[in-house]
Amino acid sequence: MWRLVLAGAAAGGMGWGIRGQYGHETGAMIAGVLVSLVVVALLRPHAPAAWALRAVAFGAIGVGFGGAMTYGQTIGLTQDAALVGNWPALRWGLIGLSIKGAAWIGWFGACLGMGLGSIRYRARELFLLMLALVGVSLLGIWLLNAPYDPASRVLPRLYFSASWAWRPDVVDLQPRREVWGGLLLSLAVASAYASRVRGDSLTPRLVGWGLLGGAIGFPLGQCLQAFHAWNPDVFTRGIWPSLDPHINWWNAMETTFGAVMGAAIAFGAWRNRHLVATPDASGASEATDDAAPSWWWAAKVGLAIHLVVLLIAEFTDVPILGRYIDITLLMGVLPLAVAAQDRWAAALMALPVTMAPIAGKTVKRLVYEQHAATTSLGWLAYAVIPLAAAAALAWWALRRVERGDGLPTRVALVFTAWTCFLLNFAFFRYPWPWVPWTNRTLHALVFLACAIVVTAAVTAPLRRPSDGFRR
């Protein structure tokens, strides 16, 4: 249990800390992949790769849903210079972060639970369910996040972003649209469907652990950053004058949040390990593939459409495609359906597809914005090689004869952890500890330590559990 929780915390801390450099939805999927891989690699170390990567794909998709929420202004309530010393604003901001964190990680627990449990969710079912939940989320926004008319200074009653209630002197205040109500209502409906309609006991339990991890982790991480903003005198004494300039407090908040949520999800999975599926190698294909050839082609086409639209939405300004990411539950319709149906689609979703936006943003930053590398070298080092390696790993994991030793899952975890670390290290402009330190150096060392912990956790000898898998 302790190995699982420690590795989950390290994976979540590194993944969520790295997420800060890459954006909301697709960035969060880094943490989703890492924590999900930790859970399947340590909780079910002898699982077939097809089943494991399907669960990982589900978890990665689910953690991306919360990325649509705005939270920068909510953090501002706890640390903006004009609000330092305002205890009601601090409390309100932390309550808002708790609600938003719960919605974010609650959806992670929901999708990971659907992937890990013994209840098989089919492609048609998930496609229709997610479309229905898009409508439920819009209803939740209308109920809890409306009215919203900044021009008339009309904001929802439960509003956790910049508001004239806290800053009545600011004329050009720009309150952001909040959507946490839609995520919470749709999460409640999804959990009820899994429990009442499908008889799935694992999913609602992991939803609960996700709610807890998010509700504690987000405000706890922000307390560190708020303490720094509220108590500047503390950081003028002792070792702080030499250390404080090298700490990125925003990254410290994110890493803390990720560590708490990763530990909560890992512990929740361990507490409910008797509900996690125990597939054997002979059932691996049946657990992921529908027999009809038309469905085989539908899965491949659906995955291709999702990837193309996702990349266009990420790297262009096409308005209508931007809504594909803004309405995050809509973004999950296709990938969840194809991952449920097809093992190849699930493996590609878990590895190269999830990594593609990260690699692309690294190229964009280092090649086109900072001109730190030539076009050919940048594309080769930061996109072509890591994505080709991820695709090859997915192919090897599924083509390899299943022997019940879980090796592909552990290899995938180590590969993903170190690839994400190296891409982020390049994004940080290589803050080696033996050169003058920047505010990136310390966090690069933290992420390095997390990658080492994750690697050690899965490469240490794994004994076959008493409730292990059939050969």
Is pTM beyond 0.75 here? yes
Structure letter (DSSP) for residue 435:
S
pLDDT at 466: 46
The token pair at 84 is 């330092």
Contact by Cβ (8 Å): 28, 67: yes
pLDDT-based confidence at residue 326 (cuts at 50, 70, 90): low
For CA atoms 113, 128, 52, 18, give the dihedral sign.
Answer: negative
Contact by Cβ (8 Å): 38, 440: no
- Of 416, 467, 468, 462, the closest CA to residue 3 belongs to 462
Q: What would the pLDDT profile of 45-88 be if each residue is shown by its tens digit?
A: 888 889 999 999 999 999 999 988 999 999 999 999 999 999 99
The token pair at 395 is 């192919």
Q: What would the pLDDT profile of 132-152 be if each residue is shown by its tens digit?
A: 999 999 999 999 999 999 989
Q: What is the mean pLDDT of the chain?
A: 89
pLDDT at 47: 87
Report how far apart, in Å, the C-alpha atoms of 121 and of each of 48, 58, 241, 339, 422 are: 18, 11, 55, 10, 35
The token pair at 281 is 């190698």
For CA atoms 60, 333, 128, 179, give the dihedral sign.
Answer: positive
pLDDT at 322: 60
Domain borders along the chain are 2-169+176-459
Does pLDDT of 325 surpass 80? no
**Helical pair 123-144 and 293-315, crossing angle rounded to 10 deg:** 40
Instruction: Report how far residue 263's alpha carbon sits from residue 8's, in angstroms, rounded to the nearest whole number.
Output: 5
